[in-house]
């Protein structure tokens, strides 16, 4: 990792500032955002990282019957969010590419290996994060990055009627599957560096303990300490390089 993630994390006041600094300092030109919603994130990145040459905005901007999360609104509300996102990014119309649809529906409009960076902030259920990571991975060039939001240490991000949030630990398992390092960053952010040169989980927050789901699914019992075998043994948690 050529960028000092510890320095960026300590200096950033919020997640948008963190990723704006990362994109600018990493020389990112082409990137995709999955889950644009109202466009605040895209607006800030486009304004704060002038080196961006192409920005793919991926979002269905419609109600999804199979998405059980609080952000799932009615079609008319999403239509307003779409117009809001377009207005917020209108100053950078020459750089933006709007792909209105789910990841599965539109991701193949992006050429393989063409992205320097992809930011995943869409469907945080187990189904959603699995689809997003698997489908966007080929679009990122070797040596590029996949970042994301809602990397929560707890799967119970929302009330019990909603599907659990499983960005963590799924993103860690995905990084292991593609043999690449993953970094846990402040404000529930993660970053996978597409190297294929070896898996490692680097926790820059000190907030991520045991990664098993059983201790969280059985909510009446306290979480158990990580066992010294399996994934927990293979992960090295450090405070930086």
Give the count of beta carbons closer than 10 Å to the beta carbon of residue 224: 12
pLDDT digits 0-9 by tens, 92-137? 999 999 999 999 999 999 999 999 999 999 988 899 999 999 999 9
pLDDT of residue 123: 87
Summarised one tens digit per residue, pLDDT across range 191-210 is 999 999 999 999 999 999 88
Q: What is the structure's pLDDT at 162?
A: 79
Query: What are the boundaries of each domain within the chain?
Result: 5-234
pTM of the model: 0.88
Give the model's pLDDT for residue 219. Answer: 57
Give the residue, 193 or 227, on which the prediction is more confident.
193
Closest CA to 57 of 78, 82, 27, 25: 82
120, 152, 232, 240: CA torsion to nearest 10: 80
CATH of 5-234, one of 3.30.429.10, 3.40.50.720, 1.10.10.10, 3.40.50.150: 3.40.50.150
Residue 240, by phi and psi: left (phi above 0), alpha (psi -120 to 50) or beta? Answer: left
């Amino acid at each position: 990792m050529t960028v000092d993630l510890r320095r960026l994390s300590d200096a950033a006041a919020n997640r948008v500032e963190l990723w704006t600094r990362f994109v600018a300092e990493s020389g990112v030109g082409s990137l995709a955002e999955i889950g644009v919603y109202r466009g605040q994130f895209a607006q800030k990145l486009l304004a704060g990282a002038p080196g961006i040459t192409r920005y793919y905005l991926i979002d269905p901007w419609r109600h999804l019957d199979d998405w059980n999360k609080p952000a799932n609104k009615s079609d008319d509300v999403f239509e307003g969010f779409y117009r809001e996102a377009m207005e917020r990014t209108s100053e950078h119309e020459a750089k933006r590419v709007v792909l209105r649809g789910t990841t599965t529906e539109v991701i193949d409009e992006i050429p393989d290996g063409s992205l320097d960076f992809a930011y995943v902030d869409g469907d945080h259920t187990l189904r959603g994060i699995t689809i997003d990571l698997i489908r966007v991975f080929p679009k990122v060039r070797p040596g590029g990055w996949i970042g994301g939001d809602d990397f929560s240490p707890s799967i119970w991000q929302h009330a019990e009627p909603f599907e659990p949030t499983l960005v963590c630990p799924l993103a860690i398992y995905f990084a292991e599957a593609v043999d690449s390092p993953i970094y846990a960053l402040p404000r529930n952010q993660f970053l996978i560096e597409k190297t294929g040169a070896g898996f490692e989980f680097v926790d820059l927050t000190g907030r991520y303990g045991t990664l098993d789901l059983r201790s969280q699914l059985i909510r009446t019992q306290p979480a158990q300490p990580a066992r010294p075998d399996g994934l927990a043994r293979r992960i090295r948690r450090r405070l930086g390089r």
